[in-house]
Amino acid sequence: MERKRSDIIADTIEGLIFDGTFPDGARLDEVQLAERFEVSRTPVREALQRLALTGLTEQIPRRGVFVRQPGPVELLEMFEVMAELEAVCARLATARISDQALAKLDAINAECALAVAAQDHGAYYSANERFHALIYAQSGNAFLEQEAKRLQRRLQPFRRMQLRARGRLQQSMSEHEEVVKTLAAQDGARAADVMRAHVAVQGEKFHRLVGMLKAAE
């Protein structure tokens, strides 16, 4: 399915933020962006709204849209909460996941494996999002699913960015396979531990992510 133009623009702006073209605090002007991408202001406005949902930009009334990069402490706190939410999703899913959903997770992992082989970070992240969303849904708790999705959107650019660290795609793929094994074995405690470790960015992973953000400044 062809991607919406606004989504393509949002991903491009996200990249320009991370490579330092649009630094923290920079104002993102709709007219200038529309000229840059050779489009009307409508897809640009939609792209900026999507970025605002992730927290990467901030809409200030009567002033405009500005780049907003979270500090290391805020970023760590968000990832800690995300890891715990996903751990609960995985634990509940061990008792509630359907055979069809387990088969779908295997199919998604096959897509991830192809993306790893091709070193296609975009394709991997797309499949990765569907992998996690399916586990949220299989938790059987609609409120938990919505909260996990909300925070996942907030962390989307940073989760995407950390996949570009050397060796991270292969490591993430291995962790996915372990998650599916624990779900199939209905081992709730192990599933929670594996998912928590998969999502958390403490220690080396966190320092690597912060280093990538600083390099983009």
Across 168-173, average pLDDT? 91
Segment 28-62, tens digit of pLDDT: 999 999 999 999 999 999 999 988 887 788 989 88
Q: What is the pLDDT of residue 189?
A: 97
Q: What is the pLDDT of residue 150?
A: 84
Is the pLDDT score of 168 beyond 80? yes
- Tell me the C-alpha distance between 62 and 134, whole Å: 39
- Residue 58: its H or E element: strand 57-60
Contact (CB, 8 A) for 212 and 119: no
Segment 74-88, tens digit of pLDDT: 888 888 999 999 999
Across 177-195, average pLDDT? 96
Contact (CB, 8 A) for 202 and 9: no
Segment 137-146, tens digit of pLDDT: 999 999 999 9
Is the pLDDT score of 96 beyond 80? yes
Q: What is the pLDDT of residue 215?
A: 59
Q: What is the pLDDT of residue 100?
A: 97
- Tell me the C-alpha distance between 74 and 63, whole Å: 25
Segment 97-135, tens digit of pLDDT: 999 999 999 999 999 999 999 999 989 999 999 999 999
Q: What is the pLDDT of residue 14?
A: 83
Write the DSSP string, 61-85.
TTTEEEE-PPPHHHHHHHHHHHHHH
Across 167-178, average pLDDT? 92
Q: What is the pLDDT of residue 1?
A: 43
Is the pLDDT score of 214 beyond 90? no
